[in-house]
Amino acid sequence: MPPTIRPANPDDPAWIIEAHGDLYAREFGFGPAFGEGIAAKMQAMLALDDPFTRLWVAEADGVRVGSIAVWRQAEDTAFLNFVLVDPVCRGHGLAERLMSRAIAHARDHGLARLRLETYSCLEAARRLYARMGFELAEVEPEVERFGRTFDREFWTLPL
């Protein structure tokens, strides 16, 4: 059965933080500071008092397998974060479905653009963002974080 996408429950943020830390350590060699950064971003997002903010979780057979969040960054701009798909569910369009949900939400609320942050070492994610119409807007080269060196990138999608 294909994964379903639902609004997050109160216990989902802890799973999202843990899943990001585990996956990025395993797949990209990121150190513990990455998970700490995800936790700080999650805390900041949850503290927002804006009904636009959304966090979704994908489930397959009752098991969490993906996530995405979107919140208002400026009056006309939303920020996309916590994009994650469990490796066992990759290659079946789940990432595109999660992205489409967040993009539609931003469009439905009349925002002009959607932004996201990624890193040059996340090649599959970067290909996904390009397929979804995002364009590279800003690059901070040779950033040393999480025990790695990479280009920090910001991508933008006009809505």
Residue pLDDT, tens place only, 48-57: 999 999 999 9
Average pLDDT, the chain: 96
Judge contact between 28 and 121, C-beta under 8 A: yes
Rounded Cα–Cα distance for residues 84 and 19 (Å): 8
Task: Report whether pLDDT(95) > 90.
Answer: yes
- For 19-24, what is the mean pLDDT? 97
Q: Name the one residue in this structure whose structure tokens are 């939400």.
A: 105
For residue 1, the model assigns a pLDDT of 74
CA torsion 99-125-147-24 (nearest 10°) is 60
pLDDT digits (tens, 9 = 90+) for 48-92: 999 999 999 999 999 999 999 999 998 899 999 999 999 999 989
CA 155 to chain centre: 12
- Helix ranges restricted to H, 8-114: 12-28, 32-46, 94-108
45-54 in b/e form (b: 16+ CB < 10 A) is beeeeeeebb
**Model pTM?**
0.94
What tokens appear for 40 in the block? 């700080």
126 touches 83 (CB < 8 A): no
